[in-house]
Amino acid sequence: MKKLILTALILICNTLLLGQDNPLLSPYETPFNVPPFNRIKTEHFLPAFKEAILQQEKEIEKIVSNSAIPTFSNTIEALENSDILLSEIAAVFYNMLSANTSKELQELAQEIAPLISQHNDKILQNKKLFERIKYVYDRRSELNLPTEKKTLLEETYKRFIRGGAGLDEEKQKRLREINERLSILSLKFGSNLLAETNNFKLIIENKEDLAGLPENVIASAYETAQKNGFEGKWMFTLHNPSIMPFLQYADKRELREKILTAYMNRGNNNNEYDNKEIVAEIIKLRIEKANLLGYNTHSEFRLEETMAKAPENVYKLLDQLWIPSIKTAQKEAEDLQKLIDKENGNFKLQPWDWRYYTEKLRKEKYNLDEEQLKPYFELNRVKEGVFKVANILFGLTFKLRTDIPKYNEEVQTYEVLDSDGSHICIYYLDFHPRSNKRGGAWMSNYREQYIYKGKNITPIITNVFNFTRPTKDMPALLTFDEVETMFHEFGHALHGMLSKCQYKSISGTNVSLDFVELPSQIMENWATEPAVLEFYAKHYQTGEKIPDELLKKLDESSKFNQGFITTEYLAACYLDMAYHTLTNELTEDILTFEKNTMNKIGLINEILPRYRTTYFNHIFNSGYSSGYYSYIWSQVLDADAFEKFREDGIFNKTTAESFRKNILEKGGSEDPMVLYIRFRGKEPDIKPLLKRKGME
């Protein structure tokens, strides 16, 4: 007995000492309990993960060993609250891995991934724990639970079934092996892609090779070159703010071909960062996992938990959109070829020509040059425009805070307040590319909103972008696509900020993949409204509002190039579905499979899918497998939902309050279609989207 007490005391002392030395395991003692980024070091993560795993294991053991009859409170709710420490540590780590990574963090991720995978599987395959969950689930009709508790019970039961709780021991063992391997492969795919993106540098020595490029793009490339040790030269990279304007404006066709070829071959260079074998193994393991769990394909497994429900429904949506999209794209290709011929180009339109000649055609058709727009879209003014929309619609205000730790000096930190002045959340904004940040734009959180022991735990939200940096002579000026991206990601942020749920696993953006994009997609609509443009579209030098003439041109050109935009996106959706509706492992190499898939749908040679296989991060590293279609489904939802705002007024308080209460605050606490109909009064219609794209 004495020995047991002594052992327990030693364990307690060691835990206390560990907590004192490790900021991830101590009370944060920061404003609003944000992570103490200034104190967190790479070496803190592994011991913190191990301790958090140990603590959750103890909580699980308490649930399992409880002699009382299983109830919602002592089983479902207790399980829900068992991983609070682990989820917060994981949120810090994985956000850092995406937005502020290092070689050490990437190596550590390879070590942590199997630990987390093993831990999750151990919980999901705990027979005694599942017996208690099933006991409560089987009696759900007798419990008269309120909606959110009922949802949590159902989702918990399904999570265990889908995690292998009903399998025999041999199959559970194999499932654990698959999950562990998939977690490692996914990380490797992402780190390979980051390396490939960072490794390519287009160095230009002769100023003549910069012909056609706007001055601000040239200035940015010059500064990038100097920072990287290329004195007196210009450097272009595969990050979007660099490659996209190059493809759009550079007169040198061979250089456009060079940079786009590098972009589309990321992960396909037969080097240490090659992703082809990784993809093949991921596909094979996903099929095996689906089969173990009783599904024919990975898509069937994934889509069961979405609004689409089944692969055939996704294909039905894609096919509805593909026919008008490819028809429009073919007409656009013909128009671009005519322009090439008119200029005596003497060559056939290729993917590296599309953006360049589209920009020329835009000028010719609408007398609109994107460079005319950029001076009116200075980054900070756009940000203030976004904030003002949120203020008018939902009563939110954004207070800049300089006393809150942040993970990088470039990050801006805000406290978000409700209309009554109460605290809603802390909000981080990270705007510009870095070599230690993955590409793209996203929303995430460092803490979910939930209620614990009667107290509302407020969220910590982050938006991360890769917008062009300011230069010494010019502020950061955005393209209109980037403006829409800011509104889009802010919509996700609102979904996290305004959550009013009891349980973190179903709060905020914890909804089905094909519903999560509705709040983000609908926000893009306000970006183009004349009343909203007046807030933020002001010349960065003179402060003049964007001229009505430019707004008219912007509106007239809104349907321009929609065939290309929609077709390249849909092609990637078909590629995603093709991989994940396979019933057997690939019998052909990745590139052949991709080519055959594109040929099957009739993608024209002048257009590439938005993401080719070896850099399709969404489906191989970001949780969107069989779910990339969700963006277009959410466009159906958002186009239909915004019709309600158009009918009532885009700043109608009653409509905005309904959207907040029925969509943004509810998270995944109810069926998404129920929530949508409660807001809209009917099921969504595809016609508003086709109208918006000019494809009726």
Strand pairing report for 397-400 and 450-452:
unpaired
CB 405 within 8 A of CB 34: yes
Closest to 659 (Cα-Cα) out of 477, 491, 412, 448: 491
- State the pLDDT at residue 4: 42
Please spell the DSSP secondary structure of 637-668, one letter per residue: HHHHHHHHHHHH-TT-HHHHHHHIIIIITTTT
Residue burial 592-625, b: 16+ Cβ < 10 Å; e: rest: ebbeebbeebebbebbbbbbbbbbbbbbbbbebb
Structure confidence by residue, pLDDT tens digits, 246-298: 999 999 999 999 999 999 999 999 999 999 999 999 999 999 999 999 999 99
Please spell the DSSP secondary structure of 490-555, one letter per residue: HHHHHHHHT---S-GGGSTT-S-HHHHTHHHHHHHHHHT-HHHHHHH-B-TTT-PBPPHHHHHHHH
Helices marked H in 200-275 — which ranges? 215-227, 240-249, 253-264
Cβ contacts of residue 436 below 8 Å, gap of 6+? 100, 101, 102
Length of the chain: 696
Closest to 534 (Cα-Cα) out of 524, 526, 545: 545
CA distances from 44 to 55, 73, 108, 406 (A): 17, 34, 11, 17
Residue burial 126-163, b: 16+ Cβ < 10 Å; e: rest: beebbebbbebbeeeeeeebeebbbbbbebbbebbbbb
CA distances from 528 to 327, 375, 467, 565, 654 (A): 26, 16, 19, 18, 22
Closest to 497 (Cα-Cα) out of 424, 437, 439: 424
Number of C-alpha atoms within 13 angstroms, CB side, residue 52?
Answer: 25
d(CA 493, CA 520): 8
CB 536 within 8 A of CB 580: no
Largest CA distance in the chain: 94
CB 356 within 8 A of CB 250: yes
d(CA 464, CA 696): 35
Cβ contacts of residue 445 below 8 Å, gap of 6+? 91, 459, 460, 461, 462, 496, 508, 509
The 10 Å Cβ neighbour count of residue 439 is 18
Q: Which stretches of the chain drop beneath a pLDDT of 70?
A: 1-20, 696
Active site residue 489: yes
Closest to 468 (Cα-Cα) out of 241, 235, 189: 241
d(CA 93, CA 446): 9
Any bridge partners for residue 425, and if so which? 416
Structure confidence by residue, pLDDT tens digits, 646-696: 999 999 999 999 999 999 999 999 999 999 999 999 999 988 988 888 876
- State the pLDDT at residue 337: 97
- State the pLDDT at residue 20: 59
The active-site residue out of 489, 517, 524, 606 is 489
d(CA 56, CA 58): 5
Please give the structure tokens belonging to residue 19.
């907590």
Q: Which domains does the chain have, with CATH numbers?
A: 2-166 (1.10.1370.40), 200-264 (no CATH), 276-368+563-621 (1.10.1370.10), 376-512+521-556 (1.10.1370.40)
CA distances from 488 to 492, 494, 663 (A): 7, 10, 16
- State the pLDDT at residue 14: 47
Hunting for tokens 């905020």 — which residue is that? 508
The 10 Å Cβ neighbour count of residue 308 is 24
CA distances from 362 to 359, 391, 610 (A): 5, 35, 21
- State the pLDDT at residue 289: 98
Hunting for tokens 């972009």 — which residue is that? 263
CA distances from 218 to 31, 81, 85, 469 (A): 42, 53, 47, 12
Indicate the SS3 state at residue 452: strand
Burial-class residue 666 by CB neighbours within 10 Å (0-12, 13-18, 19+). buried
Number of C-alpha atoms within 13 angstroms, CB side, residue 337?
Answer: 11
d(CA 671, CA 80): 20
Q: Quick one: how many helices (H) and strands (E) in the chain?
A: 30, 9
Cβ contacts of residue 654 below 8 Å, gap of 6+? 648
Cβ contacts of residue 440 below 8 Å, gap of 6+? 240, 466, 617
